Amino acid sequence: MNHFDVIIIGAGLSGIGAACHLQLNNPGKTFKIIESRARMGGTWDLFRYPGVRSDSDMHTLGYNFKPWLKAKSIADGPSIRDYIQESAAEYGVEEHIQYHSKVVQADWDSGSAKWTLNVESTADDNQTATETVSCNFIYSCTGYYRYDKGYTPEFPGVDQFKGDIIHPQLWPEDLDYSGKRVVVIGSGATAITLVPSMAKTAAHVTMLQRSPTYVISAPAEDKVSQRLRRWFSERVAYGLTRWKNVSTQALLFQLSRRYPNFVKKILRKAVHQWMGDDFDIDTHFNPRYNPWDQRLCLVPDGDLFRSLRKGTSSIVTDHIEAFTEKGIQLKSGDFLEADIVITATGLELLLLGGIELNVDGVPVDLSNSLTYKGMMFSDVPNLALAAGYTNASWTLKCDLTSAYVCRLLSYMDQYKFQYCMAKNTDSSVEKLQFLDLASGYVDRAVDQFPKQGNKAPWRLHQNYLLDIFTLRGGGLQDKVMGFYRASGSAE
């Protein structure tokens, strides 16, 4: 049985980043990246729908150790995957990836201070092959989305529809939508990306939304970044641009929380500048909730608004009554003819990629656990989770988490400890929802997720600046984190 110091699960943006951090900070550690798919890239390899792109700028979505050098700050999916692949090659982690492999079970033994992992093959020609590996530490970089399918509600009469019904997560490579009438169901980032992209060649694209989303336009290219690159080195310019964008994101989020009506007016005015007096903004771009109760949707260079103004696309805010042979009947009485329907209706959540955990022979129910500093679980040793921000770029938090894990591993090596584990002995800690977004995909899976607490270190901060102080600068020892040797004796 092969043994490694660290097993990283997932070869996406956060998994490759974690491996690079290990190479930079813990070069003596042996590690393996276990990836269920055939290629690295994670989300940016999985999603192949037209126009797939980042919903935040690459100066904050990119790694802190590798500058993003391309002109476009709002990057397309293939460019992001190339960036991930370049990072893997540059830092020598590509050779450590084991593809077509999925961790299905992990068993911790305190006597030996090791995890034993059961790994199944996901290759098409060998579905039943299994192997066993062991490690000292697990770092899960699977994100919290389910990769094999997305979420599609049950629509009445859907079997009657004669056209194609497609979920963006399972986009067919041979789909020809040129000259076709397309209806995209949804109003989130995926729908807002699909509509202007498909409208370039489709006969017409309609975005059918049940309720509106806040949409904000931003330049696809960061002109400030381009100027900084003329004045400073690439690394310095990248760092300055990163801090500029982090500060701007934090300011908008704080304003949204403190002065929601003010931010609503700003967002509405911005849409009005694009769409003019004749467009019904209050129906199609005026959500019932406050800004940042759900994630804001970003459109580069106003591409959605441009498409709407050209008439190649349109928005309908209504509810579905039923599907028919030729389209969708709406509750208002209107009817949408369609050749293709895209169900951009959301994702399903799956914690740790669905791994079954056991600690000393006892099954672990993570829904009853508390998250320690947003990355570890109470009463679960030597396991960390890379979970990004909901109000900023995912990688900002994952970079901090990876650096923290590297510090943790170095500390245990220095003082000859073999594992660490957080324990909650404070009965006054109130359990709160792990993800603080009012979103359908969160609501559907909230009971399956661990909880956060109402006080440190169980509190999950959606604040990059605060996390820098607590994760990068703060100490590793506190009243809830214990360090142990294989005998079970604590520090």
Give tens-digit pLDDT for 460-486.
888 888 899 888 877 898 889 999 998
Omega before 172 cis (within 30°)?
no
* pLDDT given for residue 433 in this prediction: 76
Q: Find out whether 225 and 237 touch, Cβ atoms under 8 Å.
A: yes
Q: What is the pLDDT of residue 123?
A: 85
Q: Where are the domains of the chain?
A: 2-147+348-484, 158-343
Span 160-179, average pLDDT? 94
Confidence (pLDDT) at 440:
57
Q: Compute the mean pLDDT over every residue in the chain, rounded to the nearest whole number.
A: 92
* Range with the poorest average pLDDT among 60-74, 407-421, 429-443: 429-443
pLDDT at residue 449 in the model: 81
| 3-state DSSP percent of the chain in helix, strand and coil, to 5 | 35, 25, 40
Residue 352, Ramachandran bin (φ over 0: left; ψ between -120 and 50: alpha; else beta): left
Average pLDDT over residues 37-49: 94
* Interval 101-129: pLDDT, tens: 999 999 999 999 999 999 999 887 655 66
- Greater confidence, 293 or 19? 19
- Are residues 133 and 119 in contact, defined by beta-carbon separation less than 8 angstroms? yes
Contacts of 186 (CB under 8 A, 6+ apart): 207, 208, 209, 342, 343, 344, 345, 346
Edge to edge, the sheet with strand 313-317 lists: 164-166, 340-343, 181-185, 204-209, 313-317
Nearest-5° Cα angle at 348, 347 to 352: 125
Sequence-separated (6 or more) residues with CB below 8 Å from residue 7: 31, 32, 34, 103, 115, 117, 133, 135, 137, 138, 139
Q: Which residues pair with 481 in a beta bridge?
A: 422
User: In this structure, are residues 17 and 402 in contact, taking their beta carbons and an 8 Å threshold?
Assistant: yes
Beta 114-121 vs 130-140: how paired, if at all?
Answer: antiparallel
- pLDDT (tens digit per residue) in 363-406: 999 988 999 999 999 999 999 999 888 888 889 999 999 999 99
Bridge partners (DSSP) of residue 216 are 298
Residue 490: pLDDT above 80?
A: no
Instruction: Please count the other Cβ atoms lying within 10 Å of the Cβ belonging to residue 191.
Output: 25
Residue 189 in tokens: 């980032």
Compute CA distances 74 → 53, 56, 63, 119, 127, whole Å.
Answer: 7, 6, 15, 36, 38
DSSP per-residue codes, 77-90: HHHHHHHHHHHHHH
Tokens of 285: 């771009």
Q: What tens digit of pLDDT does each residue of 132-149 get?
A: 999 999 999 998 788 878
* Statement: residue 491 has pLDDT above 60: no
pLDDT score for 308? 97
pLDDT at 126: 58
Residue 355 has pLDDT above 60, yes or no: yes
pLDDT at 268 over 60: yes
CA distance linking residue 381 with residue 361, whole number of Å: 13
> Contact at 8 Å (CB) between 104 and 118?
yes
Residue 143 confidence (pLDDT): 82
Q: Is the dihedral of CA 316, 319, 321, 327 positive or negative?
A: positive
**CB under 8 Å to 89, separation ≥6 — which residues?**
none
Q: Is a pLDDT exceeding 70 seen at residue 422? A: yes
pTM for this prediction: 0.94
pLDDT at 462: 81
Strand stretches in 220-379, DSSP E: 297-300, 313-317, 320-323, 327-330, 335-337, 340-343, 356-359, 362-363, 371-372, 376-377
Helix ranges restricted to H, 116-233: 189-198, 223-231
Fold equal for 2-147+348-484 and 158-343: yes
- Give the per-residue pLDDT at 390: 80
248 alpha-carbon distance from chain centroid: 20
Mean pLDDT of 331-357: 92
Binned at pLDDT 50, 70 and 90, residue 202 comes out as very high
Average pLDDT in the 321-346 region?
A: 96
Residue 446: the pLDDT is: 66
Residues in the chain: 491
The CATH architecture of the domain made up of 158-343 is 3-Layer(bba) Sandwich (3.50)
Contact between 319 and 328 under an 8 Å Cβ cutoff? The reply is no
- Per the listing, tokens 């106003």 go with 302
pLDDT at residue 441 tops 60:
no
Separation CA 34–CA 25 (nearest Å): 20
Q: Is the pLDDT of residue 436 over 80?
A: no
> Per-residue pLDDT averaged across 426-433, rounded?
83
Instruction: Report the top-level CATH class of 2-147+348-484.
Output: alpha beta
pLDDT over 60 (residue 341): yes
